[in-house]
Amino acid sequence: MRRMNRIKTAIVGASGYSGMELLRLLLGHPGVELSAATSRQEAGKALSDVFPRFRGAPGAELNFIEPAPDAIAATGAKAAFLALPHGVAAEIARALLERGLRVIDLSADFRLADAAVYEEFYGHPHPAPDLLEQAVYGLPEVRADEIKTARLVASPGCYPTSILLPLLPLLRGNLIDPATIVANSMSGVSGAGRKADVSLLFCECNESARAYGVPKHRHLSEIEQELSLAAGKNVTISFIPHLIPVNTGIATTTTAMLREGISAAAVGDALEAAYAESPFVRLLGKGACADTKNVTRTNFIDIGWQYDSRTGRVILMSAEDNLGKGAGGQAVQSFNLMFGFSEIDGLQNF
Amino acid sequence: MRRMNRIKTAIVGASGYSGMELLRLLLGHPGVELSAATSRQEAGKALSDVFPRFRGAPGAELNFIEPAPDAIAATGAKAAFLALPHGVAAEIARALLERGLRVIDLSADFRLADAAVYEEFYGHPHPAPDLLEQAVYGLPEVRADEIKTARLVASPGCYPTSILLPLLPLLRGNLIDPATIVANSMSGVSGAGRKADVSLLFCECNESARAYGVPKHRHLSEIEQELSLAAGKNVTISFIPHLIPVNTGIATTTTAMLREGISAAAVGDALEAAYAESPFVRLLGKGACADTKNVTRTNFIDIGWQYDSRTGRVILMSAEDNLGKGAGGQAVQSFNLMFGFSEIDGLQNF
Amino acid sequence: MRRMNRIKTAIVGASGYSGMELLRLLLGHPGVELSAATSRQEAGKALSDVFPRFRGAPGAELNFIEPAPDAIAATGAKAAFLALPHGVAAEIARALLERGLRVIDLSADFRLADAAVYEEFYGHPHPAPDLLEQAVYGLPEVRADEIKTARLVASPGCYPTSILLPLLPLLRGNLIDPATIVANSMSGVSGAGRKADVSLLFCECNESARAYGVPKHRHLSEIEQELSLAAGKNVTISFIPHLIPVNTGIATTTTAMLREGISAAAVGDALEAAYAESPFVRLLGKGACADTKNVTRTNFIDIGWQYDSRTGRVILMSAEDNLGKGAGGQAVQSFNLMFGFSEIDGLQNF
Amino acid sequence: MRRMNRIKTAIVGASGYSGMELLRLLLGHPGVELSAATSRQEAGKALSDVFPRFRGAPGAELNFIEPAPDAIAATGAKAAFLALPHGVAAEIARALLERGLRVIDLSADFRLADAAVYEEFYGHPHPAPDLLEQAVYGLPEVRADEIKTARLVASPGCYPTSILLPLLPLLRGNLIDPATIVANSMSGVSGAGRKADVSLLFCECNESARAYGVPKHRHLSEIEQELSLAAGKNVTISFIPHLIPVNTGIATTTTAMLREGISAAAVGDALEAAYAESPFVRLLGKGACADTKNVTRTNFIDIGWQYDSRTGRVILMSAEDNLGKGAGGQAVQSFNLMFGFSEIDGLQNF
């Protein structure tokens, strides 16, 4: 690996699971010098005290600081990752942008182009509608060029990534009927966050499987926005998330009717055409089922598919790490594009 | 619990996970005297040696015997549960029927009315087509009267139970469009059986989630048979099973388009009308999600549902124990009906 | 099972994991009518709403009430199980005793005969030292006769049960050197309680194994009290508890030097002599290792042992369910003795 | 990371869990070119087909070959890791040594200096006693200098590493009484290997905790060899391994009596003196408990300790990844020493 010019970088809100994954990735990124990590709760403690896994990692002796924009900027940071709750991220994003940092936001605050849709799904007015225009929805497989020059990247949610990447090429190619899309996802418990909540206790999640958040999970808003763009018309889908007892990993199975006259082979062709050059999309081919255990702690998304001639439905099966390609890894992938690194720098984990 | 006249009962093929659950239930059933348990592999050993959990249970000092029909009949057994692989069960079922026993078969051998469908899905000619006519598909919520007098009950598969019970009332009432049915299931690993197979090792299943068996899982044959009967016409559905790291439990999420003009309330009404008197169907109501952890080791199936007005789809969420209501418990429920017990005898576990 | 005269019974503090196990056992106990279940937090809600697993169980339509002694007594309860934090239990125990109820307390408040030891280990003065004299340490295998007539039973802790039952016969028989006892235990996460605490989240416990609470876990006080009684002199031991990712179950491995001149066979003989008639102690014999999966959801404790001639140490391996024989099951076993039931009534689960 | 001269390297027996971890580490090692990976069973298949996790990893397009020494040597390999069963490794080690390769053997074949002890513990005569003299027991924290020049390194077992590293400094310093050492270990299921065995199925290991292999686990032989060397006299200990439901990770708790006149502080001092410069030993200090979740997928061993003044015992708590510091990682650490790399090259995972 070549010697790189290190970019001073901040993580704002680094004490949750996405923050922890960002720490893991950025502490090991050859092009990054972690200059600040913030946490209201842990301010004053060393990273390695809060996350003992990082003891001994170069850089992990850094202390958490309060999320004050001036203090972050004073560290010389040129980039900031925000791993904050929606509604909170927008304000600090603005402050950091004003201070010249480029921002990669992992919250939902800048994912929706339309502030009214934000309000519908998140239940409060958008906190910074004037910034929406400059935000880029950070799916590198779709918008690499825009990401390269963006000052504000809205990194996609975990479920959306697992649903969009298999579906987008099929919608762009007009291969499926968008009105028939049904997506079922199973997520690891880390997706629910690192918060003291009885429903997330070990004994409440272990030996349990359950749907939740039906019928209108918030991630639907960004999923449908992107599907609609690809289809060239409004798309509305059914999406049912489930919680299963694994730490990380999302497995998503999406079905849709193939349009009349479209051959099953066209599905494989469309996926190949879309992702042949994408370093983090692994196409498993027809008949193969994706397994989360092959992608945990990586930035890969594995995609297999099948055609059911009995019903005319195509079945798309994707697997990703909800903290990796579904959160921290994907954000770092955008960072790499923004700062001129190779897309895979710091993401070569197996 | 009243004193009961105990029925001498045999379990044929009692060394797998379904067999173990049958043992657990029948050893504790107030109306059963376990007279024989067979296992080629474990013949000669005590039940409690093969399954140390049963040490100390009255009856568990019984030794496994070879699955010889005459030996089984000689124990005085009036009933036999078969927990054998498909293809093997039919032959011994015939032999036991000829010896006057009533048979509850947990394999697929007698679930399909049409031997040709059996051959299509199971890959070999039906081993006993002449017996199909007398076999009753053993879903007690649907065919209690037939089960009561049946000599041969084909107890349903685990996936079918979790899909059929929520769907049947909606199809009978013509509330949904059968062509739009998509069922996604997540199953515990015991559903794959107790066989030495690398893919079922702890380290291969733990921290893993994956689809498998797409697009034409064998259980589709019985699912579609029963759905078609309820709909009064041929029904073909999409069904995607998944394996998740729990010992037992199936959570199934099924979606379908509500027919035009049908109100969401009609869904709840149909479920209530169908199952108000069913002791093992727990209706959770609109908006509630079923969780496998509430039904493991019981004979309950929990059913919640939701209506998605954005897409017009109804979402049915069911949870059962794949070894309980999905196998052993349901078989005992049929046994209770066949031998004049209360439907809940021996199944009152919480 | 014979028809029984049902005893009206209350559970005070029924919303934690021990309370949930007590509910499960008492709702199914043929000699119990559950007349009250209390929970400050859940007062007014039905048992089956707080614990959906109990939906449909006869009795589970009961509503939680506030833990007011008069209200509890007014239900006609003759017995009360207390599943409350130490320090809190003593006060309500006194109030219920005054109202004529017999009390089985699952907290630590009445386990220690010496209030000074209580203060040393629990950090505050004993809340009801005058009651200590009438309290019986409720290990039915050791004190069945005292329990039968007790008005106040202090049901042992989960770790103590798993350590005491294998060790007591060896100390009584003077077979081992008490100064050499080292006990290592591994406990399921339910042992830490049902409280919203980040360290108990699924993602913090799954794929984790760790010691905690060294070197002076609170349970040492009652362990050493009972060991000392058996040895006829003060015994001090090393005890290291560990947390492992299972819902329930404790596996304990205890080692001690055999005294000079004592044969290994004497260990087996002592265990046999002590427990041959005990319905819930399953002796696995020499060379056998106990496995928690064989005892979960039961009131059994499995005990295997081995002798290491290289070091002269005996190795005792026990397994129990921390919520069963380690908490709720054992408390019900005492209840059975107190109210004239068979020791196994309501505890015949496999 | 600097550009390195890549050493052509072979993994012999790469289809088990240790082999998989070696693949993961060596595919990512900046100083290694993987020239051969052998597996009788998988010969002819690509690494990434057998282990889908490695799809896309540079080098993973390599095909497994048969374990033929000439074929391995013909790839230009200068180093070979052997992840083979004991008894099998010795023969191929000899063949590769004869062909000029330096060998790091992860089996037990060269760990014991005394062939008679090998026969006692492994049940068959040593397969290559003449090679024992040149073999170095590969604990880099203890024998870095010998490892640097070794042609044959016997990489330690997973349990021994977790027991030896905390104990050796205390024995060297004569701080504890060796006759009082009791070590309890809990291991993840991968430690039992990737073999089709019913006892290792998900449903047999999940929700289970159990001791096994008492009283004379094979690893005792190497543990006691190394402890005896450190103590300057024969040491015999009690060691009880347990299996718990995690994929990887070993947590070991070891107790021993402090010698009279030795202060507790001396324990901390001895550990500090021994490991202050060791990059992979993380000392947690007095009172801290090690947690496997902080070391999984790393080459770290975390060591905490406590002194129990009531009993006079020191309690040592260590955590490592059984496939990392307990197998593959440690072997790579030796490789780094042998071939002049920095000790941490390729092992900087967090």
**Nearest 5°: phi and psi at A229?**
-60, -40
pLDDT tens readout for residues A258-298: 999 999 999 999 999 999 999 999 999 999 999 999 999 99
Q: Which residues are paired to C152 by β-bridges?
A: C103, C135
Q: Within 13 Å, how many C-alpha atoms sit on residue B107's CB side?
A: 25
* Distance, CA of D116 to CA of D38 (rounded, Å): 31
Mean pLDDT score of chain D, rounded to an integer? Answer: 97
Query: Looking at residues A93-104, what average pLDDT do you find?
Result: 98
Closest residue on chain D to A20 (Cα): D350
Residue B232 has pLDDT above 80, yes or no: yes
Work out the minimum CA distance from D196 to partner chain B, whole angstroms: 5
pLDDT of amino acid C3? 54
Amino acid at C153: V
pLDDT tens readout for residues D306-343: 999 999 999 999 999 999 999 999 999 999 999 999 99
Residue D245 has pLDDT above 90, yes or no: yes
Residues of A in contact with B287 (CB under 8 A): 214
Residue B1 has pLDDT above 50, yes or no: no
pLDDT tens readout for residues C224-252: 999 999 999 999 999 999 999 999 999 99
**B180, B210, B313 member nearest A251 (Cβ):** B210
Q: Are the C-beta atoms of residues C212 and C205 closer than 8 Å to each other?
A: no
Closest residue on chain D to C247 (Cα): D207
Provide the 8-state DSSP code for D326.
I
Cβ-defined contact of A201 to C207 (cutoff 8 Å)? no
Subunits that touch chain D (at least 3 Cβ pairs < 8 angstroms)? A, B, C
Cβ-defined contact of B56 to C300 (cutoff 8 Å)? yes
Residues of B in contact with D327 (CB under 8 A): none
Residue A196 has pLDDT above 90, yes or no: yes
Residue D4 has pLDDT above 80, yes or no: no
Residue A350 — pLDDT band, cuts 50, 70, 90?
confident
Closest residue on chain C to B288 (Cα): C52
CA C290 to chain centroid: 18
CA C340 to chain centroid: 20
∠ at Cα C111 (C106, C115), nearest 5°?
130
Cβ-defined contact of A293 to D53 (cutoff 8 Å)? yes
Work out the minimum CA distance from C243 to partner chain B, whole angstroms: 19
pLDDT tens readout for residues C101-160: 999 999 999 999 999 999 999 999 999 999 999 999 999 999 999 999 999 999 999 999
pLDDT tens readout for residues C10-66: 999 999 999 999 999 999 999 999 999 999 999 999 999 999 999 999 999 999 999
C89: left (phi over 0), alpha (psi -120 to 50) or beta: alpha
Evaluate the omega torsion of the peptide bond into residue B215 and state whether it is cis, within 30 degrees of 0.
yes
pLDDT of amino acid D290? 98
Mean pLDDT score of chain A, rounded to an integer? Answer: 97
Question: In Å, how far are B35, B234, B250, C218 from B338, measured between CA atoms?
Answer: 18, 30, 27, 55
Residues of C in contact with B300 (CB under 8 A): 55-56
Residues of C in contact with D255 (CB under 8 A): 182, 238, 240
Residues of C in contact with A194 (CB under 8 A): 198, 201, 203
pLDDT of amino acid B5? 82
Residue B4 — pLDDT band, cuts 50, 70, 90?
low
∠ at Cα B141 (B136, B147), nearest 5°?
30
pLDDT tens readout for residues D285-311: 999 999 999 999 999 999 999 999 999
Residue D350 — pLDDT band, cuts 50, 70, 90?
confident
Work out the minimum CA distance from B204 to partner chain D, whole angstroms: 8
SS (H, E, C) B23-69: HHHHHCCCCEEEEEEECCCCCCCEHHHHCHHHCCCCCCCCECECCCH
Cβ-defined contact of D53 to A295 (cutoff 8 Å)? yes
Residue C316's closest CA among C345, C284, C293? Answer: C284
Residue carrying structure tokens 């993994």: D11
Burial of D5 (0-12, 13-18, 19+ CB in 10 A): exposed
pLDDT tens readout for residues B242-287: 999 999 999 999 999 999 999 999 999 999 999 999 999 999 999 9
Query: Looking at residues D9-13, what average pLDDT do you find?
Result: 98
pLDDT of amino acid C1? 44
* Distance, CA of A92 to CA of A90 (rounded, Å): 6
Closest residue on chain B to A241 (Cα): B253
pLDDT of amino acid D1? 44
∠ at Cα C318 (C313, C319), nearest 5°?
155
Cβ-defined contact of B209 to A308 (cutoff 8 Å)? no
Subunits that touch chain A (at least 3 Cβ pairs < 8 angstroms)? B, C, D
Cβ-defined contact of D208 to C249 (cutoff 8 Å)? yes
Chain A / chain B CB contacts < 8 angstroms: 157
Q: Are the C-beta atoms of residues B19 and B89 closer than 8 Å to each other?
A: no
Widest CA span of chain A, in angstroms? 63
Cβ-defined contact of B251 to A242 (cutoff 8 Å)? yes
Q: Which residues are paired to B319 by β-bridges?
A: B251, B302
pLDDT of amino acid A201? 98
Q: DSSP per residue over A49-68, as a string?
A: HHSGGGTTSTTTTPBPB---
pLDDT tens readout for residues A296-332: 999 999 999 999 999 999 999 999 999 999 999 999 9
Query: Looking at residues D147-166, what average pLDDT do you find?
Result: 98
Closest residue on chain A to C198 (Cα): A196
Residues constituting chain C? 350
Residue A155's closest CA among A105, A220, A102? Answer: A105
pLDDT of amino acid A4? 63
Cβ-defined contact of D294 to A53 (cutoff 8 Å)? yes
pLDDT of amino acid A3? 54
pLDDT of amino acid D5? 82
pLDDT of amino acid C349? 87
Residue C2 has pLDDT above 70, yes or no: no
Residues 6 or more apart whose Cβ sits within 8 Å of residue B262: B175, B176
Catalytic residue set of D? 158
pLDDT of amino acid C125? 97
Query: Looking at residues B84-98, what average pLDDT do you find?
Result: 97
pLDDT tens readout for residues D50-99: 999 999 999 999 999 999 999 999 999 999 999 999 999 999 999 999 99
pLDDT tens readout for residues C261-275: 999 999 999 999 999
Residue A2 has pLDDT above 80, yes or no: no
Q: β-strands C313-320, C250-257: how paired?
A: antiparallel
Closest residue on chain D to B247 (Cα): D203
Cβ-defined contact of B202 to D245 (cutoff 8 Å)? yes
Q: Are the C-beta atoms of residues D281 and D301 closer than 8 Å to each other?
A: yes
pLDDT of amino acid D196? 95
Work out the minimum CA distance from A31 to partner chain D, whole angstroms: 11
Q: Which residues are paired to B36 by β-bridges?
A: B10
Query: Looking at residues C301-311, what average pLDDT do you find?
Result: 97
Q: What is the ipTM of this complex?
A: 0.96
* Distance, CA of A54 to CA of D294 (rounded, Å): 8
Per annotation, catalytic residue among B158, B203, B205, B289: B158
Residue C183 has pLDDT above 90, yes or no: yes
Work out the minimum CA distance from D210 to partner chain C, whole angstroms: 5
Contacts by residues B136-139 (CB-CB < 8 Å, ≥ 24 positions apart): B137/B111, B137/B222, B137/B225, B137/B226, B138/B104, B138/B330, B138/B331, B138/B334, B139/B164, B139/B165, B139/B226, B139/B330
Work out the minimum CA distance from A348 to partner chain D, whole angstroms: 8
Cβ-defined contact of C53 to B28 (cutoff 8 Å)? no
